[in-house]
Amino acid sequence: MIGSLIGSLADSVLATFIVFCRIGACLMLVPGFSSINIPVQVRLFVAVVTTFALTPILVAVLRPLLADAAPLALASLICSELLIGSVIGMAGRVFFLALQTMATATASAIGLSSIPGTQVGDTDPAPALVPLITAAVTTMFFITDQHWQVLRGLMNSYDVWRPGTKLGGEVALAQLVNRLSEAFVLTLRITSPFIVYSVIVNFAVGLINKLTPAIPVYFISVPFILFGGFLLLYLTSDELLTQFMIGLSSYLAG
């Protein structure tokens, strides 16, 4: 009786660790939770608490896989869960990476590329406009309760990818490519006014420079380009953030 009790306890501990593999890998990459501004202890605490909350629901599914499982089978199960969690987390993170890329292009379009900014949630240097946009989007991510959608999606992922399912590299790559395509189409659509603004303004400045070659039109036009870019950002910022959060929430809800 004591031996069976110890074996059951060992299976429960191992099942908890298997659940932690998927959840921990996802929270390591998913937006918001993976920010460098959040201490590692806090991220680990969130992953452990989430694991303890989901394990009683999933332990019945995992125990048949762990009963008399060979060490090689356990290692394969752990790697599979880590891969699935990483794919789920990276699929959400690509939306923020795409937004950072297009925000950098936007800063260049309105003449802010030479002004460095303090990074929020990242270590790479970027123009001042990029951390402003990413900080606003990350704040809205938590204000609109999208982090709960992430946890709900993790729970639902066990219906799509059952524990023990071998997620092939082709499937994982296809998932990331599809999310990357959706993310860049979304961010390109919401930052398109700045690209159009850049084309029109630079064409006008180049035309004026050709008509008056003796006047340094480019240097004179910089303050006016900045003012127009800031005005456009002021007029479109609400819609930009709203459309991005709608696109992100539709992915997380699906």
Domain-wise residue ranges, the chain: 2-253
Residue 85 has pLDDT above 60, yes or no: yes
Which residue(s) pair with 127 in the sheet? 116
**Crossing angle (nearest 10°) for helices 169-211 and 71-109:** 10
When mean pLDDT is compared across 65-79, 95-109, 139-153, 222-236, the lowest value belongs to 65-79
Q: Report the pLDDT averaged over residues 112-117.
A: 66
- What residue type is 165 in one-letter code? T
pLDDT of residue 147: 79
pTM of the full structure: 0.77
Q: Any idea which residue has 């991510």 for tokens?
A: 141
When mean pLDDT is compared across 10-24, 63-77, 91-105, the lowest value belongs to 63-77
CA dihedral 204, 205, 206, 207 (to 10 degrees): 50
Distance CA 31, CA 152 (A): 15
DSSP string, the chain: -HHHHHHHHHHHHHHHHHHHHHHHHHHHHSTTTT-TTS-HHHHHHHHHHHHHHHHHHHHHHHHHHHTT--HHHHHHHHHHHHHHHHHHHHHHHHHHHHHHHHHHHHHHHTT-TTSB---SS--S--BTHHHHHHHHHHHHHHHTTHHHHHHHHHHHHHHHS-TT----HHHHHHHHHHHHHHHHHHHHHHHHHHHHHHHHHHHHHHHHHHH-TTS-HHHHHHHHHHHHHHHHHHHHHHHHHHHHHHHHHHHHH-
Average pLDDT of every residue of the chain: 78
Name which residue leads in pLDDT, 253 or 131: 131
Token digits of residue 84: 């699935």
